Amino acid sequence: MEHATAYLILAALFGLFMAWGIGANDVANAMATSVGSRALTIKQAVVIAAIFEFAGAFLAGGEVTATIRKGIIDVSAMSDTPEYIVFGMLASLLAAGIWLAVASTFGWPVSTTHSIVGAIVGFAIVGIGMDAVKWGKIGSIVSSWVISPLLAGTIAFLLFQSVQRLILDTDDPFRNAKRYVPAYIFLVGFIIALVTLFKGLKHIGIDFSTLENYVIALISGGLIAFIGHLRIQRIQLDPARDRVFHYASVERVFAVLMVVTACAMAFAHGSNDVANAVGPVAAVVSIAQSGGVVAQKSPLAPWILLLGGGGIVLGLLLYGRRVIATVGENITELTPSRGFAATLAAATTVVLASGTGLPISTTHTLVGAVLGVGIARGIGALNLAVVRNVFMSWIITLPAGGILAIIFFFVLKAIFT
């Protein structure tokens, strides 16, 4: 295939740029609640996110990648002009990356999934035709964007209600926090271990039976809960702090849990959203290396997942702070107990979606969860002006990605043909 080397280099560069945008904008979804609730400093959050985002992307990132790469458009219509798919995927990566960079500058928590899906649909309409877009698939993806914040909001609402009932509204909240928080830690460890075992480890050639997966997940959850329990037992009641804020000592117990849930959310986010960067890269690599053969399925080389994971970490380190402030501090006032409920609800929703291959928006999921916690305290606890700006940026994202992708598609077509 003519220009194959150039296509591969551009795919790697644009894929890295897109992954950088995911790190700059979307990693706030994993860390914002921890920083906003002061369970972690920004530096600690960045280190934890870097480790667990990369692990999630590399170990468990393959399932959703398949949906992004081959589920949105019918590539068989382009078997005679494979270079058009290459131009389209490169244009989509560049368009989505630029939009994420703009949104991150303003501190808007937009959806990377929206950005790349909008871009791919935009190029497909002009490059192939309306018929090439699988509108049924687009419909299911769009419905997931509504379902995911609703589901996460509901789970967060119920989780925070359980925290209030079991701990905060009791006669001895500190003693009850020490008793029940290890159970919540077990839940977090169990969920994340399960998703890693069921879909992640196949990439590195490890495959257990269903029963073995559940046993290992139970042991992992128990081990993490035991470590958490030991850490919690060292926390002592602080009457001076409690006089300033009645639940100060209780929230210190929840801060331990918050760190565990932050790790879980970073892992879940890496596994789900790396697809947005590496899916189009995998399509370009497949076509370029096969000499122009358009395949519905293409193998995902480990270096592509490495590229995605590395790019996410770079974006977080260099540019991630602005969106963290919006989600973690400006929507509603968060404490470690509220932040835990929001983060675990979001992580659970993302894990469910990642396991079924549905490319949901992690941004929508976490914002929905934070809103759920806010509503549990009453609608007055929400900053409705910030919520309105967030919703507006979501609406703009699809057309922005699509229009930019159309422009870049024609530019690349002019350069290479």
Q: What is the 3-state secondary structure (H, E, C) of 278-294?
A: HHHHHHHHHHHHCCCCC
Q: Phi and psi of 382, rounded to 5°? A: -95, 145
If we measure between CA atoms, which residue out of 134, 132, 114, 116 comes closest to residue 124?
132
- Domain assignment present for residue 334? The answer is yes
The CA-atom distances, in angstroms, between 237 and each of 55, 76, 228, 247 are 36, 65, 17, 10
- Output the tens digit of pLDDT for each of the chain's 417 residues: 678 888 899 999 999 999 999 888 877 766 777 787 778 887 888 888 888 888 887 776 666 555 555 567 776 666 677 788 889 889 999 999 999 999 888 878 788 888 888 898 888 888 777 877 888 877 877 777 788 888 889 999 999 899 889 998 888 888 998 999 899 889 888 877 776 676 556 555 667 787 888 899 899 999 999 998 998 888 888 888 777 777 888 888 888 888 887 887 788 778 777 777 887 888 788 888 777 666 655 566 778 888 888 888 888 888 777 777 777 666 777 788 888 888 888 878 877 776 676 667 777 888 888 888 888 776 767 777 777 877 788 788 888 999 999 999 999 999 987
Q: How many domains does the chain have?
A: 1
- Domain assignment present for residue 147? The answer is yes
- Domain assignment present for residue 311? The answer is yes
- Domain assignment present for residue 225? The answer is no
Q: What pLDDT score does 105 carry?
A: 85
Q: Which domain holds residue 308?
A: 4-171+267-416
If we measure between CA atoms, which residue out of 182, 211, 214 comes closest to residue 195?
214
The answer to whether 56 and 270 have CB atoms below 8 angstroms apart is yes
The residue type at 278: V
- Domain assignment present for residue 41? The answer is yes
Q: What pLDDT score does 64 carry?
A: 55
- Domain assignment present for residue 37? The answer is yes
Report the Cα 405 to chain-centroid distance in Å.
22
The CA-atom distances, in angstroms, between 330 and each of 149, 252, 266, 371, 376 are 18, 22, 21, 11, 17
Evaluated on CA atoms 379, 383, 385, 388, the torsion sign reads negative
- Tokens 């495959």 label which residue? 207
- Domain assignment present for residue 100? The answer is yes
- Domain assignment present for residue 380? The answer is yes
Q: Using alpha carbons only, how large is the chain's radius of gyration in Å?
A: 22
Burial of 410 per CB tally in 10 Å (0-12, 13-18, 19+): middle
Q: Which helix (H) or strand (E) holds 249?
A: helix 248-289
Supply the pTM of this predicted model: 0.80
Q: What pLDDT score does 223 carry?
A: 93
